[in-house]
Structure 1
Amino acid sequence: MADDPKTLVSTEWLAAHLGDPDLRVLDGSWYMPDSGRDARAEYEAGHIPGARYFDIDEISDQRSSLPHMAPPPEKFISRMRALGVGDGHQVVVYDGMGIFSAARVWWLFKLMGKTDVAVLDGGLPKWKAENHPLEDMPPVVRDRHITVQRQSHLVRDVAQVAAASKLKDWQILDARAAARFRGEVPEPRPGLRAGHIPGSMNLPFMELLNADGTMKDLPALQAAFEGAGIDLARPVITTCGSGVTAAVLSLALERLGHNRHALYDGSWSEWGMYPDLAVEKG
């Protein structure tokens, strides 16, 4: 894999740069509510040296009834300053699954206009498997100024997605498992209908990953998108259950040099809730 500090870096790259003064490592672990895992407790028990915990649920727009919607810029600024993350830093985000929620944090930084941010390929499982160091000490944090400029073209709301579903000017790609996409199993969040956005296509995010949790190489990524029916010459809206794994699709598109993609932040947590929005099954 070619390391790219704007998308994806290897554990070897991170190990070599861990002492860099302008490197900031974030633990962006987040788990489904029914997983039985506690991301913050796992972080406190052991994390990559110097890593700070990025709480996806807390660093969000808590005025919304939807889970972990993108925070307003001023909240993002205050939370990043508290973590000692600011202008001039190279950020690397990892999670406890391999590549799962770290991509959501990567996308949030992109949304705020910060581009020097990468996901750790293979995440904490690969780091541990290679016997790289861990620590349980809280990092020493120094406040750092951060400027943000929200990139509105990277996010879509329900009205924009409904228009895309009707007009078909943007392709809609769903990262959920195939059985959820087809509406064959109930949604993990109560009260949501089963199925998918009319006209959307399905590429379960796991199909972009190797068995060890690393992202597939570029030819395999391209084949996966094309196999799902995506025309890589046209723009794509990514979606999923609650806007987390959709970012894995967005990260893979960015790896392929496809930069006309946007993420539906409300995702199925929003679409599946409203009875006046059409749902397809099968």
Structure 2
Amino acid sequence: MDPLVSTQWLADHLSDRDLRVADASYHIDLPGEPKRDAGAEFTAGHVPGAVFMDLAGFSDPDSPFPSTMPNAARFASRMARAGLGDGLRIVLYDDASHFTAARAWVMLRAFGFTDVAILDGGVAKWRAEGRLVETGEHVVRPRHATPREQGKGIANMADVRAALDNDVQIIDARGRARFTGAEPDPRPGVAAGHIPGARNLPYKQVFNSDGTWKRGDALRAAFADAGVDPSRPMVMTCGSGITASVLAFAAHLLGHQAQVYDGSWSEWGADPSTPKATGDA
């Protein structure tokens, strides 16, 4: 299974016994953003047979930072509860402004689930094409899930500090105003600006205007325009690890791997001991 599948591919394979579809919509609800309920939106309409992968429930409840990766036990429990267990191919989609299916993709791969794809264009494209949607909750059969890795592709603050002294590119997925510090961080107690030496590749620049992912030369150009060489080591960062995952998936589409800094700016910007920079890259 390719890492990015089309709506037509999914329609053709929806009845495959080893295939599961998961709605990984998650709304960050930053100040000023409209409130949305991902669970209620799933109930109102979803790809037939899909399950709701509640990313809020997958995060570490003891972490002071949003969206932190769970430990292996919590991950396995939540996966099993959603029926997303061993021996399955999993297709993820979302209907979220921050393209959160990529965060679910990074999480599954961090625990060793590699037969995972993202639906290109998400449920918005599925609906726009007039394809069938279901309403209501989907009856889930729990399925055992065995983490085969833990933390693969995930960077912590120590890793990022080390990257500052090595030939590792730090790529920030936030918008330019937050990256430069022209706009204050929306989270209380978090400084404005970015990690020194980071390059800025706003996550929306890896998508086409219709919400599908850029591919090939167009995607390579997005990295190049930001001064990024995807063939060199990369650590992706953002506000809370969500849109950093978008850039990690984009790099994967180009045949390259990148780490995701889980704490991202929510951790770095709140720590008085970390170096910070403002202005353009």
TM-score normalised by the chain length of structure 2: 0.95
Q: For the residues of structure 2 that align with 1:199 and 1:62, how far apart are their CA atoms?
A: 32
CA contact (8 A) 1:97 1:123 kept: no
Residue 251 of structure 2: which of 246, 250, 253 is its match?
A: 253
- Post-superposition Cα deviations, 1:76-116, rounded to whole Å, max 9, x if no partner, equal 11111111111111101111137710000011000010111
Other structure's SS at 1:168 match = coil
Q: Which moved more, 1:192-201 or 1:33-42?
A: 33-42
Q: Distance in 2 between matches of 1:98 and 1:14?
A: 22
- Cα–Cα, structure 1 residues 93 and 103, in superposed 2: closer, same or farther, change >3 Å? same
Count of aligned positions: 276
Counterpart of 2:265, as a letter, is W
Structure 2 stretches lacking a partner, 5+ long: none
**Alignment-derived partner of residue 227 in structure 2:** 229
Could you tell me which residue of structure 2 aligns to residue 74 of structure 1?
Answer: 73
Q: Name the aligned partner's letter for residue 141 of structure 1.
A: V
1:269 paired with 2:259, answer: no
The match for 1:196 among 184, 194, 197 is 194
Q: Aligned equivalents of 2:45 and 2:93: distance in 1?
A: 13
What amino acid does structure 1 have at the position aligned with 2:6? S
CA RMSD in angstroms comes to 1.3
CA contact (8 A) 1:205 1:248 kept: yes
User: Is the CA contact 1:29–1:101 (under 8 Å) kept in the aligned structure 2?
Assistant: yes
For 2:74 and 2:230, locate their aligned partners in 1 and report how far apart those are by CA, in whole Å: 34
Q: CA deviation at 1:143?
A: 2.2
Separation in 2, partners of 1:7, 1:186: 35
Equivalent position SS for 1:57: helix
**Correspondence for 2:107:** 108
TM-score by length of 1: 0.94
Query: Are the equivalent residues in 2 in contact too, given 1:98–1:123 (CA < 8 A)?
Result: no
In the aligned structure 1, how far is the partner of 2:8 from the partner of 2:190?
Answer: 42
Structure 2 residue 18 is the aligned partner of structure 1 residue 22: yes
Moved more, 115-124 or 145-154: 145-154
Amino acid at match of 2:37: D
Deviates more, 1:240-249 or 1:130-139: 130-139
The correspondence of residues 91-240 of structure 1 with structure 2, limited to 5 A, is 91-97=90-96, 100-165=99-164, 167-240=165-238
Q: Which residue identity is paired with 1:230?
A: V
SS of 1:220's partner is helix
Task: List runs of 5+ in structure 1 lacking aligned partners.
Answer: none
